[in-house]
Chains A and B, each alone.
Chain A
Amino acid sequence: MRTTEIAIIGGGPAGLRAAISAASMGAKVTIIERNENLGGQLVKQTHMFFGSQKQYASTRGIDIAEILLKDLDKYKDRIEIMTNATVLSIFEDGVISIEQDDKYLKIKPQSVIVTTGASEKFLAFPNNDLPGIYGAGAVQTLMNVHGVAPGRSVVMVGAGNIGLIVSYQLMQAGIEVKAILDASPRIGGYLVHASKIRRMGIPILTSHTVKYAHGTDKLQKVTICQLDEKFQQIPGTERDIETDVLCISVGLSPLTELLWQAGCNMKYIPELGGHVPVRDKDLQTSIKGVYVAGDVAGVEEASSAMVEGRLAGLCAAKALGHATADFEELHNDCIEQLNSLRSGHVGEKIRKGLEQVAM
């Protein structure tokens, strides 16, 4: 059977950063990525990132992916990259099975860093399965990766960061955004993103939700309505908006299937998006040798995912005996960066969530 020291499942921002740091310590690493290209969701992000310089602030996501790939290249003798490769299972004995280009293979790593990210949450309303109703991530992929417009006009559900950003990207691609709805009475995403949208004349309707989708073969219009403070629909506030695309962006939930399979101790933490693994300060889960980083450990920004990846990479390598003199320094730097990214008002929710999963 194939072996490696550290298998990294997922080649997004967290996974790439984990690979770079583990390899820089001297570990032999295998990145397993289900897509054709590395970079994960970064390849769809046309906007500039927040954070500080250490997390590539003010650089566009698509360009951060390029930077990470260049860093990766420095350690190419120690990093094996598998693309088009989906991890199917982590078995009872730690063996990982993989499908790559219609081939089935297995690998037995000494440690594994799971950086599988998150998937979009769904929303239930009548006719929610009509063609024309898409996840925000799907719309992003379609237009930013494949250059295909999802339709003529869009109503966005969700005024969190993703909803706001994808709305902006839709306008960039020449597609009309008719309105952004959010069930909550307050805009969830960063207000600068919101201002950007408002400036273009797109209404953001807080305390609103989609009540009904209409269409025979595909979406033709949606009925929206207002919500009261208990999130109950207020009768008589319904109105119709004609649109051929409804985009759903109501949050992400960590993609934790593999962690469950591996037997990790999981906890339901709404602040972090759903079930997440309990972990120690080195990002090791309750199963020895299984580390996590990025959205799979709790939904946050790509900036913190990258720092977490770096931290997990360092610790996993150290645990396998690859110690460098500056380990403590690097370790502390990661912790400090994470603390600063999570400080302040916006990070409050994350901090509250993380307190509950610390081991």
Chain B
Amino acid sequence: MRIKEHPILSFSKGRKVQFTFDGKAYEGYEGEPIAAALHAAGVMVLGHSHDKQRPRGFYCAIGNCSSCLMVVNNEPNVRTCTEPLKEGMVVETQKGKGDLR
């Protein structure tokens, strides 16, 4: 969910861009973190831990922890809480520890 109005802040957004998450089309704003765009679209589960298969959402939002690792444009282990969204990005849930491709 996006915050539509705010008593203090006004949000300057980049242009609208399209991206895919696990094959489905999504929309977000250019330059915002991938995880923020997913969160705005209601996607809170970004993956599952590789051993115990526990669901993982983003946690720290500043690239410190390892909760939000996803595959972006074929690259594994991308910290989506800080990685800026770009037009046409292919975002996927990471399987296990990720494959170098």
Please pick, from B2, B39, B59, the residue contacting A133 in the complex, using a CB distance under 8 A. B59
A147 and B8 contact, Cβ closer than 8 Å, known pairs A131-B46, A138-B61: no
Please pick, from B36, B46, B55, B64, the residue contacting A148 in the complex, using a CB distance under 8 A. B36
Which residues of the partner chain B approach A217 to less than 8 Å between Cβ atoms? Answer: 45, 55
Type the 1/0 row for A201-235, where 1 means its CB is closer than 8 Å to any CB of B: 00000000000000011100000000000000000
Whole-angstrom CA separation of A175 from B40 in the bound complex: 14
Size band of the interface chain B makes with A: 20 to 34
Whole-angstrom CA separation of A130 from B44 in the bound complex: 10
Whole-angstrom CA separation of A151 from B57 in the bound complex: 12
Task: Indicate if the CB atoms of B57 and A131 lie closer than 8 Å.
Answer: yes
Task: Indicate if the CB atoms of B64 and A119 lie closer than 8 Å.
Answer: yes
Whole-angstrom CA separation of A142 from B3 in the bound complex: 10
Flag whether B33 is at the interface (Cβ < 8 A).
yes
Type the 1/0 row for A158-187, where 1 means its CB is closer than 8 Å to any CB of B: 000000000000001110000000000000
Task: Indicate if the CB atoms of A142 and B2 lie closer than 8 Å.
Answer: no
Please pick, from A119, A138, A147, the residue contacting B6 in the complex, using a CB distance under 8 A. A147
Task: Indicate if the CB atoms of B1 and A172 lie closer than 8 Å.
Answer: no
Flag whether A137 is at the interface (Cβ < 8 A).
yes
How near does chain A come to B82, taking the closest CB pair, in angstroms?
Answer: 9
Whole-angstrom CA separation of A93 from B56 in the bound complex: 40
How near does chain A come to B21, taking the closest CB pair, in angstroms?
Answer: 15
How near does chain B come to A254, taking the closest CB pair, in angstroms?
Answer: 14
Task: Indicate if the CB atoms of B60 and A149 lie closer than 8 Å.
Answer: no
Which residues of the partner chain B approach A141 to less than 8 Å between Cβ atoms? Answer: 61-62
Whole-angstrom CA separation of A189 from B7 in the bound complex: 23
Within 136-159 of A, Cβ neighbours of B (below 8 Å) are at 137-139, 141-144, 146-152
How near does chain B come to A159, taking the closest CB pair, in angstroms?
Answer: 21
Q: Which B residue sits closest to A174, measured CB to CB?
A: B3
Of the listed residues A46, A60, A120, A131, the one surrounded by the most CB atoms of chain B closer than 10 A to its CB is: A131
Flag whether B87 is at the interface (Cβ < 8 A).
no
Please pick, from B6, B36, B44, B60, the residue contacting A172 in the complex, using a CB distance under 8 A. B6
Please pick, from A120, A130, A146, A148, the residue contacting B60 in the complex, using a CB distance under 8 A. A120
Whole-angstrom CA separation of A216 from B61 in the bound complex: 22
Which residues of the partner chain A approach B9 to less than 8 Å between Cβ atoms? Answer: 46, 62, 144, 147
Of the listed residues B9, B36, B54, the one surrounded by the most CB atoms of chain A closer than 10 A to its CB is: B9
Which residues of the partner chain B approach A46 to less than 8 Å between Cβ atoms? Answer: 8-9
Which residues of the partner chain B approach A60 to less than 8 Å between Cβ atoms? Answer: 8
Task: Indicate if the CB atoms of A172 and B61 lie closer than 8 Å.
Answer: no
Type the 1/0 row for A78-114, where 1 means its CB is closer than 8 Å to any CB of B: 0000000000000000000000000000000000000
Which residues of the partner chain A approach B62 to less than 8 Å between Cβ atoms? Answer: 137-138, 141
Task: Indicate if the CB atoms of B6 and A134 lie closer than 8 Å.
Answer: no
Task: Indicate if the CB atoms of B58 and A138 lie closer than 8 Å.
Answer: yes
Of the listed residues A134, A148, A151, A216, the one surrounded by the most CB atoms of chain B closer than 10 A to its CB is: A148
Whole-angstrom CA separation of A130 from B6 in the bound complex: 28
Whole-angstrom CA separation of A141 from B49 in the bound complex: 24
Flag whether A13 is at the interface (Cβ < 8 A).
no
Task: Indicate if the CB atoms of A146 and B32 lie closer than 8 Å.
Answer: yes
Task: Indicate if the CB atoms of B59 and A138 lie closer than 8 Å.
Answer: yes
Flag whether A277 is at the interface (Cβ < 8 A).
no
Task: Indicate if the CB atoms of B57 and A172 lie closer than 8 Å.
Answer: no
A150 and B3 contact, Cβ closer than 8 Å, known pairs A131-B46, A218-B44: no
CB pairs A–B below 8 angstroms (20 shown): A60-B8, A62-B9, A119-B64, A129-B54, A130-B54, A131-B56, A131-B57, A132-B57, A134-B58, A135-B60, A137-B62, A138-B59, A146-B11, A146-B32, A147-B3, A149-B2, A151-B44, A172-B8, A174-B5, A217-B55
List the interface of chain B (C-beta within 8 A of A). Answer: 1-3, 5-9, 11, 13, 32-33, 36, 39-40, 44-46, 49, 54-62, 64, 67, 81
Given contacts A131-B58, A146-B36, A149-B2, 9 further A-B contacts (CB under 8 A): A130-B55, A132-B57, A133-B59, A138-B62, A146-B32, A146-B33, A148-B3, A173-B6, A218-B45
